[in-house]
A = this chain, B = another copy of it.
């Protein structure tokens, strides 16, 4: 599940303790309200009674947004039902391996279960049919535990500690929400919908960005069997990434010296509440930053690539996303997304496989789906009047006059004059430059700019005429260029929950067909991940990482990191010595000094068959 519904206002909201307020409490409240409605519902009770649940199992329901459908309905919530093996008495036993093939639908206001949707459990051979399962619907399912005390295997014992130590403290300074680090200066904001945002981002006093944020994401599921066409989450618009943010803990989510930020959010009744540690700030090392060895003197100058990371993590029932803004010493800003958590599964009959997903655990079909993100970049490259220019590298025909040996290629620039969308084009190395046409780089004579190469990831696969796609126009193209408008922050529109189509989202903003040349321009970048699950994604998936890089292009007059000192790190040690000192305490066998005897063009440890 990648989303839950909007907060349901009610009495209990006010009584929660302020410092616990945003520990996913909204979800807990939803969960409780949904479960209570089910327990009071004859429809639900009858449906569950049709299954022979194994002894000691209890039904566990994750409320989800209702998604989109053609029919007009009141405000609904749907519940994905699982059963939890309660016999261990461990509250953290994983219930997702035991999916039940029903979805109760809740009228969010009347708090009544209005309908029970039945789910197909068939395979390749069953088409859209449902009802192929037996009463003993969970008997072929098996555990999928991830908390260490319930694992069927022992934890690894050979992961030696790796610590990040900053003996002189961090290189950053924090004053309220103002952060200064390595010539960078910016403010970090936080709101219930977007989570952490960056504002007024400057390098060495020069303006780079007015605002940087994650605007929206949608997760459409590719299983065509109804009612899975309503399995589409908008994790920012429906759920609120800020409200879903984890309360981070020292030593768990980052290494080194960590600054945490709390957020002040508002309750449905208007009162303020604090959510602790929702954003963390720390430095990290990302390998070599730049290096050159003078081969004549053998002198190497090598610097590290230090990054400052602003991170927040959201949990949406089964799923998590880790979002990070990373600033580096060379004037670069990367936006990173990591997808992890538990993939959404539905019940599948014993022995069957499906074209709509992968059986990741006996009886559990992880459905194919997409994650489509949209980043909103409000540039202010040396000021707010900017022009977006695309740059493509194109082959040139052989010509005696211009390209006699066919070795040349040309770089074509296209000025984006009116608001529009376009797609990534790796075959032409399409690069998006956000330029200030009024400021020239004194060295190159070109406009100062920041650039990025849009990732050509797959766009939304649902049919253009489907509700899924109509609700997420932003997921149809990689880059959108619009004229700034107050309050226009949401790529998929302000109201995504149960939307029929994207309204006042980025497509409508482009449709205004406004001037964006030398103007206050906003750039939106959509990228994504088509996620056809692997067995290895179960029970909790290893992170899938995506990054987009904003980099200066003729903004500076040289490598801005040329003044980073290349000091030798005195804390690094030779493994031979480390192993030796361990040996002396009798722990580890000493490794001998090694020569790689690769004396031929190839060296294989065993001969090929």
Contacts and interface: CB of A to CB of B under 8 A. Distances in A.
Contacts of A147: 299, 301
A226 B405 contact: yes
Q: How large is the interface on A (under 10, 10 to 19, 20 to 34, 35 or more residues)?
A: 35 or more
A132 to B, nearest CB: 17
A409 B222 contact: yes
A407 B222 contact: yes
A350 to B, nearest CB: 12
A427 interface: yes
A543 interface: yes
11 contacts: A128-B404, A156-B329, A164-B571, A189-B604, A200-B604, A210-B608, A250-B573, A292-B320, A295-B317, A403-B463, A406-B467
Contact of A487 (B294, B322, B443, B602): B602
Nearest to A461: B409
Interface string A221-237: 11111101100100000
A2 interface: no
> Number of copies of this chain in the oligomer?
2
Nearest to A147: B301
Contact of A169 (B229, B564, B581): B581
Interface string A370-403: 0000000000000010000001011111100111
Interface string A457-484: 1110111011111000000000000001
Interface in A486-513: 486-487, 489
A562 interface: yes
B292 A565 contact: no
B444 A353 contact: yes
Nearest to A403: B224
Contacts of A191: 598-603
Given A190-B596, A293-B315, A537 B565 contact: no
Interface stretch (A8-16, A39-47, A106-114, A330-338): A330-338
A133 B76 CA distance: 75
A271 to B, nearest CB: 11
A559 B539 contact: yes
Contact of A575 (B258, B457, B598, B601): B258
The listed residue with most B CB atoms (<10 A of its CB), out of A242, A557, A604, is A604
Interface string A284-304: 110111111111111111101
A165 interface: yes
A233 to B, nearest CB: 13
A559 B578 contact: no
A257 interface: yes
Task: Identify the 7 closest CB pairs spanning chains A and B, nearest first.
Answer: A224-B408, A406-B463, A406-B466, A229-B405, A163-B571, A259-B575, A330-B542
Interface string A572-609: 11111011011000011101101111111111111011
Contacts of A272: 599
A355 interface: yes
A426 interface: yes
A115 interface: no
Contact of A342 (B292, B424, B596, B598): B292
Contacts of A588: 169, 173
Interface string A272-287: 1010001101111101
Contacts of A609: 384, 520
Contacts of A530: 393, 429
Given A542-B559, A554-B534, A569-B255, A197 B575 contact: no
Given A211-B604, A443-B362, A596-B177, A582 B169 contact: yes
A410 interface: yes
B543 A305 contact: yes
B574 A258 contact: yes
A192 B597 CA distance: 11
A603 to B, nearest CB: 4
Given A91-B297, A293-B24, A603-B191, A262 B594 contact: yes
Given A224-B396, A284-B287, 5 more contacts: A161-B571, A199-B605, A256-B572, A287-B322, A539-B562
Given A229-B405, A289-B543, A598-B263, A297 B444 contact: no
Interface string A245-265: 010011111111111111111
Contact of A257 (B361, B427, B552, B573): B573
Contacts of A457: 426, 429
B156 A565 contact: yes
Contact of A398 (B92, B305, B318, B465): B465
